[in-house]
Structure 1
Amino acid sequence: MSQLYASLFYQEQVTEIFSDRALLSYMIQVEVALAQAQAEVGVIPSTAASAIVEVSQTALAQIDVDALAVATGLAGNIAIPFVKQLTAIVKAQDAEAARYVHWGATSQDILDTACILQCRDALAQVETLLTQCYQTALTQAQTYRSQVMIGRTWLQQGLPITFGHKLARYASAFQRDLARIQAMKSRVFTAQLGGAVGSLASLQDQGSAVVQAFAQQLALSTPVCTWHGERDRIVEIASTLAMITGGLGKMARDWSLLMQTEIAEVFEPTAQGRGGSSTMPHKRNPVAAASVLAAANRVPALMASVYQSMVQEHERSLGGWHAEWLAIPEIFQLCAGALARTLDVLQGMQVNADNMHANLQCTQGLIMAEAVMMALAPHLGRLQAHHLVESACKTAVENGRHLKDVIAAMDDVQQYFSAEQINEIFQPESYLGNIQEQIDAVLMQAKGEAK
């Protein structure tokens, strides 16, 4: 990603986690854990492990990144030339210890485990942003729980809702995202150590003990068996991020539509230089929504690559595994960036209550047609009530009249309802169903989780 665009689509901390130097740091951490685990079990001398640990403190600064980049293109993965450089760095300090660098492991063990460590740290950042979005949506749902607005279906005016209800639905989605993250952690944060074909034959009868010690060194789960060719852990992480990003895209679509000139009910926060046009001085563009929607557009394409990469050959694959290296960092960065943009909007959005009220009135009462029908249904039957109100709606539209006036003049209505009752039926606030109970349920769920 160009640095010129990074601030628009990405999030700084997650971008750093997937930087080249960070990857090398994670790989060093994995090699150190491998040596420590093998020394603990007695596979390599403890003196060798101690030397590798000591050298690792300064190894990152000694790696020739430019040479590594060139060699990676020839080797097919970064681990091969990386291990050569790391071994040389250790050898310069302790030739005997250098013999035990990368002992019994294969390139994919190092890269897969480093990837899991990256994902764990990046997911912690995602979880923090997601929690902030959740808490902010809860607060705003409470703030606007009684702010009546029009609910829209198929981009048309439907029935009254409250803005707080829309925000409570967002909060509920965030809660489910957080629950998904918690549920998958024990499955996906798992070490990878299998050697050439997953048998760890190079470690003879010590393979299982080394794997367990290796996982413990990194605070990862111990795998029941190696998973070089089974990529469901990586795919589960990416799928969860894709769902989060898609949900954010839905929210961004909502607030961008609410910012339309003809609607003008909700606006993104203002700031100097934000949302302007290079030619139209009056414009206030939904720039955060554009960023989030771009992420929601891009991530499914990346997920197609990740899903396709599950089809691998035998014990270790050709190409499928490699495709993850491109897709996973970008999915993480786009998801985190979309969360950061969404949080900014949730915290600083501007709500135009007057326009919400005006838009409720623009159909001249047609949005209350269902309320009228349901009020009449106990007296006339639902189907007859539907026909009567449908006819009244046509008359109101054809004559440019308010539906309430047409309904109030009907004999079939006057015999059951007074003018005051009809007026009450046409109040949007009187036809909100169980919205307040739903909001309460979302807020109570959050309180229960906080205990």
Structure 2
Amino acid sequence: MSEHTRLLFAPGDLRAEGVDDASLIAAIGEVESAWVQAQAATGLISAEVRAEAVTGIEATVRELTGDSAALVTLAEDAESGGNPVIPFVTAVRYRLAPAAARIVHRGLTSQDVMDSALGILIGRAFARIDADLEAITATLVTLSENHAHTLCLARTLTQPALPTTFGLRAATWAAEAEEIRRGTPQPATLQVGGAAGTRAAIREFAGEATMTLLREFAVAVGGPDAALAPVPAPWHTDRIRVLTWAGHLAACVALGSTIARTVLIGTRPEIGELRLSATGASSAMPQKANPTSAVLLHRNGMRAPGALATVTTAAAEAVEERSDGAWHAEWAPLAELMVLALSSLSLLEDMVAGLSVEPEAMRRNLDAASPGIYGERLTTAFGDRLTKTQIQEIIVPGGDPSARLAAALADTPGPTPPRADLEGFFAPEDCLGEAEDIRQTIISAIADRPTDPAL
């Protein structure tokens, strides 16, 4: 059993560093070490016992993360208890003298450690996601500014609709990225409730020092700033929190997929409106330049819904003080969503940075869809004078739509505009509505983003 086998099923997942078995074990070790450090800082154990216990935890983490076979053995041992914390703690205690072994994991339950370890990984993922979204948004804003007046064809339900600008399209993408960044959920917090969320065992050995112990634990994991935050109540039954994390991760994947879908259309040779700086080769057709980054983003978009559905089901199935399977069901899809979000944003950042726009091709496709794309404008301007049949006759392909419009108006009551005005009626530059104003509104809203990183 190779530690890398699964990655061959999903090229691109390697971009999501820090979401694997070794990372989870390291995070579990961080939690257990922090709990020992907190006991020492509170005066509940001696410095000697603390040093021995921490050394044992760190040695166990090194052994497991440095040997894939050891991780496989741990996974096998985890089956009997249903989680990896139990065999991990057993392996640590095996290294220690009785005094140090007793204080490792003292007062905690497996869910405390597993939830806290996942919270650590989520917090780190969110920090990377925030930085990636920042860079992606900035690139898209620049792309929008550079193509504020680049005309292109708007398509609805795959069909030609109206003239628009690529600048507005890119601004809309930037707005989505910024909206996801601003909607980042509350950073992950430690989960400490004990066997049933009452902290009974912790209170038993820590007594009046319980809150001090919990605060020192938070500081040991999160640094000095954690001392300023209130000690969180146990959230072992609040799986909506986990679902919120999952939803944020899924939104990151959806962002990459939706942009990639438009890019995949635009890079088709017969459309030719977009070009990627980095493409992939074909094993059989040397003439091909495959838009690989966009393909992988689209693929990720199809992988995420299943994982999100599982987390949603697990949240809905949560019962009592620890669920019989629903809690366990969260871990794999949550890890999958972290991998998908991190890899998607990394791929997306590269894709948009290397995205080139072909204005001539955009104009060619826009002209090819004319004059049909002016049907809405004709109906709005002359619907009170022209019948639906007359309008359909004006916008048939070929010929001179301005002449057909003039002739139709001449046959109906009311003034006929000058021929020059009618010729301009079918100019895409004059049929953009509020496109540029909307684009500028979006860009201004992004520029006026809140400075508080928590917002």
Q: Same fold (TM over 0.5)?
A: yes
Corresponding position of 2:96: 90
Corresponding position of 1:248: 256
Q: Write the distance in 2 (CA, Å) between the matches of 1:156 and 1:192.
A: 51
Partner residue of 1:266 out of 262, 265, 274: 274
Contact 1:396–1:402 (Cα < 8 Å) also in 2:
no
SS in 1 for 2:88: helix
1:377-401 Cα deviation digits (max 9, x unpaired): xxxxxx424x44651323552x843
Q: Write the distance in 2 (CA, Å) between the matches of 1:88 and 1:140.
A: 58
Corresponding position of 2:429: 429
1:44-443 map, 5 Å = 44-63=45-64, 64-91=70-97, 95-181=98-184, 184-186=185-187, 189-204=188-203, 205=207, 206-219=209-222, 224-271=232-279, 274=280, 276-310=281-315, 311-376=317-382, 383-385=383-385, 387-388=386-387, 390-394=389-393, 396-397=395-396, 400-410=398-408, 411=410, 412=412, 415-443=415-443
1:68-95 Cα deviation digits (max 9, x unpaired): 232112232111110011122333xxx4
SS in 2 for 1:309: helix
Q: Write the distance in 2 (CA, Å) between the matches of 1:408 and 1:344.
A: 50
CA positional deviation for 1:159: 0.7
- The one-letter amino acid of 2:292's match is V
1:211-247 Cα deviation digits (max 9, x unpaired): 3332232226655421222212211111011122122
Q: Write the distance in 1 (CA, Å) between the matches of 2:374 and 2:116.
A: 59
Contact 2:378–2:391 (Cα < 8 Å) also in 1:
no
SS in 2 for 1:283: coil
Contact 2:271–2:365 (Cα < 8 Å) also in 1:
yes
SS in 2 for 1:285: coil
**Does the C-alpha gap of structure 1 residues 62 and 265 become closer, same or farther in structure 2, counting only changes over 3 Å?**
closer
Unaligned runs of 5+ in 2: 65-69
1:120-144 Cα deviation digits (max 9, x unpaired): 1122122222211111111101011
Q: Does 1:22 align with 2:29?
A: no
Q: Write the distance in 1 (CA, Å) between the matches of 2:164 and 2:320.
A: 55
**Does the C-alpha gap of structure 1 residues 364 and 122 become closer, same or farther in structure 2, counting only changes over 3 Å?**
closer
Corresponding position of 1:379: none
**Does the C-alpha gap of structure 1 residues 277 and 414 become closer, same or farther in structure 2, counting only changes over 3 Å?**
farther
Contact 1:265–1:356 (Cα < 8 Å) also in 2:
yes
Tell me the TM-score normalised to structure 1 length: 0.88
- The one-letter amino acid of 2:201's match is S
1:179-226 Cα deviation digits (max 9, x unpaired): 011xx224xx11111111111111224444433332232226655421
Q: Write the distance in 1 (CA, Å) between the matches of 2:266 and 2:426.
A: 24
Partner residue of 2:7 out of 3, 8, 15: 3
**Does the C-alpha gap of structure 1 residues 90 and 391 become closer, same or farther in structure 2, counting only changes over 3 Å?**
farther
The 10-residue stretch of structure 1 (189-198 or 160-169) with the greater mean CA deviation from structure 2 = 189-198
**Does the C-alpha gap of structure 1 residues 98 and 131 become closer, same or farther in structure 2, counting only changes over 3 Å?**
same
Contact 1:48–1:98 (Cα < 8 Å) also in 2:
no
The 10-residue stretch of structure 1 (260-269 or 358-367) with the greater mean CA deviation from structure 2 = 260-269
SS in 2 for 1:299: helix
Q: Write the distance in 2 (CA, Å) between the matches of 1:252 and 1:79.
A: 39
Q: Write the distance in 2 (CA, Å) between the matches of 1:418 and 1:223.
A: 75
CA positional deviation for 1:312: 1.8
Q: Write the distance in 2 (CA, Å) between the matches of 1:396 and 1:20.
A: 61
After TM superposition, where is structure 1 displaced by more than 6 Å over at least 4 residues in a row? none
Q: Write the distance in 1 (CA, Å) between the matches of 2:309 and 2:399.
A: 53
- The one-letter amino acid of 1:425's match is F
**Does the C-alpha gap of structure 1 residues 35 and 371 become closer, same or farther in structure 2, counting only changes over 3 Å?**
same
The 10-residue stretch of structure 1 (204-213 or 350-359) with the greater mean CA deviation from structure 2 = 204-213
**Does the C-alpha gap of structure 1 residues 391 and 262 become closer, same or farther in structure 2, counting only changes over 3 Å?**
farther
1:379-438 Cα deviation digits (max 9, x unpaired): xxxx424x44651323552x8434223113231499331111112221101111111112
**Does the C-alpha gap of structure 1 residues 390 and 123 become closer, same or farther in structure 2, counting only changes over 3 Å?**
farther
Contact 2:371–2:395 (Cα < 8 Å) also in 1:
no
Q: Write the distance in 2 (CA, Å) between the matches of 1:413 and 1:139.
A: 49
Q: Write the distance in 2 (CA, Å) between the matches of 1:427 and 1:400.
A: 15
CA positional deviation for 1:333: 0.8
Contact 2:60–2:91 (Cα < 8 Å) also in 1:
no
Tell me the TM-score normalised to structure 2 length: 0.87
**More helix by proportion, 1 or 2?**
1
- The one-letter amino acid of 1:408's match is A
Count of matched residue positions in the alignment of Structure 1 and Structure 2 = 430
Corresponding position of 1:448: 448
RMSD over aligned CA atoms reads 2.4
Contact 1:364–1:401 (Cα < 8 Å) also in 2:
no
**Does the C-alpha gap of structure 1 residues 11 and 3 become closer, same or farther in structure 2, counting only changes over 3 Å?**
closer
**Does the C-alpha gap of structure 1 residues 358 and 150 become closer, same or farther in structure 2, counting only changes over 3 Å?**
same
1:289-313 Cα deviation digits (max 9, x unpaired): 2211111111111111101111223
The 10-residue stretch of structure 1 (282-291 or 296-305) with the greater mean CA deviation from structure 2 = 282-291
Q: Write the distance in 2 (CA, Å) between the matches of 1:178 and 1:66.
A: 37
SS in 2 for 1:267: strand
SS in 1 for 2:319: coil
Contact 1:35–1:101 (Cα < 8 Å) also in 2:
yes
**Does the C-alpha gap of structure 1 residues 395 and 424 become closer, same or farther in structure 2, counting only changes over 3 Å?**
closer
Q: Write the distance in 1 (CA, Å) between the matches of 2:60 and 2:294.
A: 42
